[in-house]
Chain A
Amino acid sequence: NAGVTQTPKFQVLKTGQSMTLQCAQDMNHEYMSWYRQDPGMGLRLIHYSVGAGITDQGEVPNGYNVSRSTTEDFPLRLLSAAPSQTSVYFCASSSRDVNGYTFGSGTRLTVV
């Protein structure tokens, strides 16, 4: 089925470890974004991309890196995980027509 695929679904990291959250979409969407969801804080934009090779920072970019080498993929990298990065992470994509983002099912990350 067409949509946004996130892997892994669950991950436990130790403080200081690095990892990459994967996100892929097969709808040929130009726009892709990463959000984190924390209790009582809604979803906050981490990074976004308006096309291959173009990325920009959102509200809470510190501690995260992104790249967009292809239209389909938009990985999120944690270079040195901290307990404050314990959260649920959502990737989303949208066409240029701004019809609303399609969300992946999320990655639940715990940093201990």
Chain B
Amino acid sequence: AQSVTQPDIHITVSEGASLELRCNYSYGATPYLFWYVQSPGQGLQLLLKYFSGDTLVQGIKGFEAEFKRSQSSFNLRKPSVHWSDAAEYFCAVGAGGGGNQFYFGTGTSLTVIP
């Protein structure tokens, strides 16, 4: 069965520092992979997605993620964090025949300190 694991429940980084959020997935076929961000009281916004091809994908707000099939991972990175990046981040795998069934990780809460 498909599943997504985000091992870090909460991460604190200083503004300007680099960031890496971990995501591991379990899925039998080639996965569709996504990262979403959720600000307090808001819905989810798509940061980036991976379907195939180049394993390093660029997203909005300066985020990138790297797909590593051998490690079943899809970690999210940002070189320099801004205070506005404080939010909840969710990794998701798209399963099913058309990749239309999304399964989410439990999320990582990011705190940015000045």
Chain B residue with Cβ nearest A6: B43
**Do B107 and A98 have beta carbons less than 8 Å apart?**
no
**Do B49 and A99 have beta carbons less than 8 Å apart?**
yes
Which listed segment binds A: B13-21, B65-73, B77-85, B97-105? B97-105
A48 interface residue, CB < 8 Å from B?
A: yes
User: Given the complex of chains A and B, what is the CA–CA distance between A90 and B88 in angstroms?
Assistant: 15
**Do B101 and A48 have beta carbons less than 8 Å apart?**
yes
**Do B49 and A100 have beta carbons less than 8 Å apart?**
yes
Chain B residue with Cβ nearest A98: B99
Chain A residue with Cβ nearest B94: A98
User: Given the complex of chains A and B, what is the CA–CA distance between A42 and B88 in angstroms?
Assistant: 10
A58 interface residue, CB < 8 Å from B?
A: yes
A105 interface residue, CB < 8 Å from B?
A: yes
Distance to closest chain A CB from B113 (angstroms): 23
A25 interface residue, CB < 8 Å from B?
A: no
Query: B interface vs A, CB < 8 Å?
Result: 4, 6, 9, 32, 34, 36, 42-46, 49, 51, 90, 92, 94, 98-107
Q: List 23 A-B contacts (CB under 8 A).
A: A4-B43, A31-B100, A41-B106, A42-B6, A42-B105, A43-B90, A43-B92, A43-B102, A43-B104, A45-B101, A50-B98, A58-B101, A90-B44, A92-B44, A98-B32, A98-B51, A99-B49, A100-B49, A101-B44, A103-B43, A104-B43, A105-B42, A105-B43
Ranked 8 nearest A-B pairs via Cβ: A103-B43, A42-B106, A43-B104, A98-B99, A100-B46, A42-B104, A103-B44, A31-B100
